[in-house]
Structure 1
Amino acid sequence: MNLHREFIFACDWGSEASSSNNNTPSNCEDQSTPGLCPAAHTNTGQDIMKRAAAKQLIERYFYQLLDGCGNPNCDNKYCASSGEARNLTPNEAAAEAIKLFYKEARLCDSLPNKVPRTEANACDSSASTTCTTSKSKDITDNKEELQSGESSIENHESTSQTPETSQNKSQQDDHKTPSHNNGAPLTEERICQLCDECLRSKAPQPLIRALGEAFTQPAILARCFQSKLRLDSDSSGGKNTDKESKAMCSSSDPDKDVDSVAGPELDVVSCRKAFGYLAKVPSEYYSSALVTALTTLAENMEIDLRITKKMSIEDAVNCFVIAFEVPDLGCSDYLEIALPALCHAAEHLPVKAQAKLARVWAQHCKDSLRHILETLQQLITLRVISTNYTRHFQLQDDESVTLATKLMKIVYYANMLAGVMESNTLREEPVVIASQLDPLGDALDHLYPLSSMKNSKQSQPDDPLAIELDINVLDARKPYLPFEEFYNEPLSDTIEMDIDFANYKTEISNGKKFAFLKYPFILTAATKSLGLYYENRIRMYSERRVSLLHAVVGAAPPMPFLRLKVRRSHLIDDALVELEMVAMERALDLKKQLVVEFEGEQGVDEGGVSKEFFQLIVEEIFNPDYGMFTHQPDSHTVWFNPTSFETEAQFTLIGIVLGLAIYNNVILAVNFPMVVYRKLTGKKGSFEDLADWNPILYNGLKYMLEYEANDLEEVFYQTFRICYQDVFGNTIFHDLQENGDSMFVTQENKKEFVDLYADFLLNKSVETQFKAFRRGFVMVTDESPLAALFRPEEVETLVCGSKNFDFNELEKSTEYDGGYTSESQTIKDFWSIVHSLSLDDKRKLLQFTTGSDRVPVGGLSHLKLVIARNGPDCDRLPTAHTCFNVLLLPEYESKEKLQDRLMKAISYSKGFGML
């Protein structure tokens, strides 16, 4: 009988013993007893010696509690030979032994006869420790221990129990307590039976043993909670049925894959019911033991997936589905130990297994998606806020965070599949921009590989999991959970984007380092915009160096910037003419830093003049009198004029202006409907896009789709000929089908009518104008990871800024200079006046101080306004350095005078008072 192995088994599965390990945190700094620390993974000689010493002491406590020291006069209350000690089961003794070890309780001098000699033990202490999370544990010993642990405990109970405990055991046998599974998979009925018995007898050992047997061995867990169909086929001994099932599992049809995993094999509903019943049992009875079991399960799965490669895709998927259906354990060890171990095992899932898991979660576990996501978010947040990251240990080096992010990607795709998906055939034709050869630029890029942006389109290859699932975020019309729930704000606030961006762009010798930019769903739009800013700035600097190198060799005059010299009275003509010349001669110059100069005005453009330029040009371009865009009165948006007299080149130049605004980190006051941003990122407009394009038309068509009566023709009296008005009020007719005027809309063809109607309004009627517009936009952004990092909703935020005008955030983030502090009376009066302003006046204040009336991505807290004292009381108006967001404010003598001067300044600021 291997007493050492018996003791480990008792420690692992004793509920109180396992819970006692909670006293040692997972990030334990004190490694004096590393064998007991769940997070210890070291294998140094010193650690091995410490583990061996710790095990010896705990074993002595264990047998002292269970068998005593043999001294009839013993006065040690922690010894079974004294009259003070109570009778303990092996599980209880294991738990108490660990507690006594931590307390350094008294040990008897004489040892009980059954204490094993550690040096004579066949189990190598370096290969097996009481730390259940140690990755150095030998797989063979681990499996042996799990298989023989139960019989060894039973043998020990039969040989070393006191008469009282033997009597208790007999009484339990009389009650027909559910015995061990002996390797049989769990079922809903068995879980219910074990839970009932646990609640009745207050003895959790049978439940713990059953969970332990199943959850430590992937081969057993994968067969748990099988459907009735599968069980019946197995009991009939039909090998042909099993072969058919395996053939279905390997089928290339995604639907058959899902059914084969979660249909005839795994009954998710039964699994969920069983765990719902388990949740009725107090978690302290089983939580710690289940954490240990899940950790062991993850380690064994990792070995099977990474080393032995003997685990099938179906078994791996079933194990993960069941593991994440486990109810909330309410145990910190789950987040600190078990969940990171499961994430580590999930990293080794092949792409086909990841895709299958995403499909199963999407089709059969929709109700669990939020719980899985929240659990992963808790793990990431806990690690981020509790860890002090440095340059030597960065956020990207924390495996608990990075592996949880990788697993969250599977949940992300499952969330899209579980929602409303559109056809992946509605794609805009790709815009091809002819590349321009630049030998000097190529040579410079060879010298500065990090600054090479020419191949940035390939820097983010298509995600293999997305390819396997044949899924694109553009097709997700309505995900099951909002995309915003995948943001992790603590992580986004903590991440050092310069480091992450370098990882994103650079390959190191041993492979690619982890970059959160490759998992953009977890980052807020504000954080990703910083990564885009780095990308664009490096591109600008690269073009500047190329230009200077051209000048050095005499190839061309130096043009380090994209300079636009415009007149305020002819703003559109001057800007579009100059941009057209640049686009025709050398389109690469569009990727240089923009510098704007207003003719006849002094000022150096450090960003503020460009902001004003974009603000003014947008106001004119989208003016209805200009005729390029029309206003939608219901949605207060602008749309392309299908009957515009402007040339395609004009729309191309408007696209260039929009692209330049993003490229130069300028927010615009444009009011496009969301369908424009979807089309810019490559998705054609469809019926659902009419909701914010023309709400009245959308509601009318939706009512037609929902109308089920047989008199649809008489009620709507609609044919396949539609009419619309141009900007001059003329009515124009268009047939959606040939001879559309004679084809009435019926119950059978109403869906076709709606789709054709939406396609004409959003795509075909403005195809020429939008294609030219998108071409101009792509000319600037083609080498940017814009589409890879941002969803269409985020691109809108990137272009238009946030819609949250929270000036309390601005007040908290504002800095002061020149003698002002937050306690200065002038500052208090200033904020009192600002908070009382109307929204229009607040916009004017932003326009005056920053050059833009839009809120930056992430809110006003990201604006970083500076208010500086500009001398004592005087009659001068406030001024502003818009390039640096600095407001120069004299120290006015009264609040009334401050309000008067401020309102005059912000009301008459264009071309005056802004430097």
Structure 2
Amino acid sequence: MQRVEIFHRRIKKDREFLKISEGHPTTYITIHRDKLLEDGYSQLGILSSSILKGTIRVKFINAQGLDEAGIDEMGVFKEFLEETLNLAFNPALNLFKANTEGHLFPSWLSGVNENHLQLFQFVGKMVGKAVYEGIVVDIPLAPFFLSHLLKRNHSAYYNYLDELSSFDEQIYSSLNFIKHYDGDVTDLCLTFSVDEEYLGKRVTHELIDGGCAIPVTPSNRLSYVHRMALFKLSTQIKKQTDAFTKGFHSLIDPSFIEIFSPEELQKLISGDEVEIDVEDLRKYTHYAGGYHANHKVILWLWDVLKNHFNADDRGNFLKFVTSCSRPPLLGFKHLHPPFTIRCVQMTHSEDRDESVTGMIKGFFKRHQQPHRLPSSSTCFNLLKLPNYTSRNMLKEKLMYAIKANCGFELS
């Protein structure tokens, strides 16, 4: 897609202007596993956009208060970014809500969180950082919210009613019913106001000044329908949306993305919903631990992925190793960090143990999992693949690991 290439060139130019690869300041942060959002917000939320665009190196502190080892700063930052965004976008936190299709948008109940607007700005920055770095994150945003990020709602031709279904299908249907009602709409006893429950209290919002006293009639019902859509998609969550947008645009200049539609921006954030091109993935794969492009186990792997896995299996494999089932726009050349396969040597030392304990352990290993499963470190887009002795064994173990979703290990 030519527009995506234009976007990548703009990002590259911006990085060159800031001299990010030439002595640009590196930011070091310390993140407690049980305080991801709090620590990230307190240490990164105050930084300028030019600093945030540079390298960020993360040190994790585990639940026991001990430092965690990391083998690659970019990979550790990717893990921090993914886990922070997964937490922030979880509807249980009340920063965001999900529609019936699972698409996310700011919650009008976010005020239950202290400093919620500052949190929205921080989360916007982190999504912007992911896009800036080419890190694909599995965050499905509602189309109307994407339109806000693109400033499409500023256009005189923008119609809030057209996108209301991506907010709430039931409200959209109700307003369409009112819009096309054949009877006397006055009988519905509606006014230019809306009542909502907020923290256990009923709150009335007027759609226009004095709206509580203005009935909806056949002559003004179109105005009512459009004002209600405007309230639901914009007015009600304006502060939250503006804060998120401010954070996002501090990393991603609005002029960089004005060429995209909402659907294209979603693909830029979360990858493309297309058939995974195994040959493209293969072309940009790195190898470690003794593996190379022509190693027999590697050849088996590509054969299994291409000829024995179906489209869903390949998507699950990609999610297993990268945490996202969709490839980046323009292919795996733009996957960061690059997909890497590391060799894990098989060992049968336990099976050769002739002690009573060793024989018991060997018996149970033979009747459970006689060989190690593949594992992954999604923060590094790394597959740790045992040096299997047959293609069938590789296929069986890989499929088992993917379906069990037992991949992540600390490196």
RMSD: 3.3
Shift of 1:577: 0.6
The one-letter code matched in structure 2 to 1:835 is N
Within the alignment, does 1:639 sit opposite 2:105 as a pair?
yes
Partner of 1:835: 310
- Whether contact under 8 Å (1:533, 1:665) holds in the other structure is no
Distance in 1, Cα, partners of 2:72 & 2:201:
45
The one-letter code matched in structure 1 to 2:132 is Y
Shift of 1:578: 0.3
Shift of 1:829: 4.0
| Aligned residue among 304, 309, 329 for 1:857 | 329
| Aligned residue among 650, 655, 660 for 2:124 | 655
Partner of 1:572: 37
Within the alignment, does 1:605 sit opposite 2:72 as a pair?
yes
Map 1:516-535 to 2 at 5 A. 523-525=2-4, 527-535=5-13
Partner of 2:387: 891
Within the alignment, does 1:593 sit opposite 2:71 as a pair?
no
Partner of 2:400: 903
Say which SS state the counterpart of residue 564 (structure 1) adopts. strand
Distance in 1, Cα, partners of 2:302 & 2:106:
45
Distance in 2, Cα, partners of 1:675 & 1:776:
18
What do the CA deviations read for 1:574-623 (whole angstroms, capped 9, x no partner)? 111101332xxx44312213333323222233533232222211111122
Partner of 1:345: none
Say which SS state the counterpart of residue 152 (structure 2) adopts. coil
Shift of 1:710: 5.3
Partner of 1:233: none
The 3 A distance-change label for structure 1 pair 823 and 869 is closer
The 3 A distance-change label for structure 1 pair 789 and 534 is farther
With the length of structure 2 as denominator, give the TM-score of the two structures.
0.76
Partner of 2:266: 796
Say which SS state the counterpart of residue 58 (structure 2) adopts. strand
Structure 2 residue runs of 5 or longer lacking an equivalent are: 62-66, 154-158, 286-290, 349-370
Shift of 1:718: 2.2
What do the CA deviations read for 1:686-711 (whole angstroms, capped 9, x no partner)? 2212022212221221232233x352
The one-letter code matched in structure 2 to 1:814 is R
| Aligned residue among 238, 242, 245 for 1:771 | 242
Distance in 2, Cα, partners of 1:803 & 1:705:
35
Query: Comparing both chains, which one has the higher relative contact order based on Cα–Cα distances under 8 Å and sequence gaps of 6 or more?
Result: 2
- Whether contact under 8 Å (1:532, 1:786) holds in the other structure is yes
The one-letter code matched in structure 2 to 1:691 is S
The 3 A distance-change label for structure 1 pair 883 and 649 is closer
The 3 A distance-change label for structure 1 pair 850 and 637 is closer
Map 1:110-509 to 2 at 5 A. none
The 3 A distance-change label for structure 1 pair 636 and 739 is same
Say which SS state the counterpart of residue 679 (structure 1) adopts. helix
| Aligned residue among 162, 175, 199 for 1:688 | 162
Within the alignment, does 1:810 sit opposite 2:278 as a pair?
yes
Partner of 2:355: none
| Aligned residue among 733, 736, 741 for 2:212 | 741
Shift of 1:792: 3.2
The 3 A distance-change label for structure 1 pair 702 and 613 is same
Shift of 1:723: 2.4
What do the CA deviations read for 1:479-535 (whole angstroms, capped 9, x no partner)? xxxxxxxxxxxxx5xxxxxxxxxxxxxxxxxxxxxxxxxxxxxx253x334324423
Partner of 1:194: none
Partner of 2:190: 718
Distance in 2, Cα, partners of 1:654 & 1:854:
22
The 3 A distance-change label for structure 1 pair 771 and 530 is closer
The one-letter code matched in structure 2 to 1:568 is R
What do the CA deviations read for 1:389-434 (whole angstroms, capped 9, x no partner)? xxxxxxxxxxxxxxxxxxxxxxxxxxxxxxxxxxxxxxxxxxxxxx
Shift of 1:713: 2.1
| Aligned residue among 162, 165, 175 for 1:701 | 175
Structure 1 residue runs of 5 or longer lacking an equivalent are: 1-491, 493-522, 548-559
Partner of 1:463: none
Distance in 1, Cα, partners of 2:252 & 2:126:
11
The 3 A distance-change label for structure 1 pair 710 and 886 is closer
The one-letter code matched in structure 2 to 1:878 is P
How many pairs are equivalent?
365
Shift of 1:896: 4.4
Distance in 2, Cα, partners of 1:692 & 1:676:
9
Partner of 2:90: 623
The 3 A distance-change label for structure 1 pair 539 and 662 is farther
With the length of structure 1 as denominator, give the TM-score of the two structures.
0.36
The 3 A distance-change label for structure 1 pair 668 and 729 is farther
Name the one with the larger strand percent: 2
The 3 A distance-change label for structure 1 pair 642 and 824 is closer
Within the alignment, does 1:678 sit opposite 2:147 as a pair?
yes
What do the CA deviations read for 1:324-352 (whole angstroms, capped 9, x no partner)? xxxxxxxxxxxxxxxxxxxxxxxxxxxxx
| Aligned residue among 250, 256, 266 for 1:786 | 256
What do the CA deviations read for 1:769-814 (whole angstroms, capped 9, x no partner)? 22222222222224x742344333322221122123x23x225642
The one-letter code matched in structure 1 to 2:221 is K
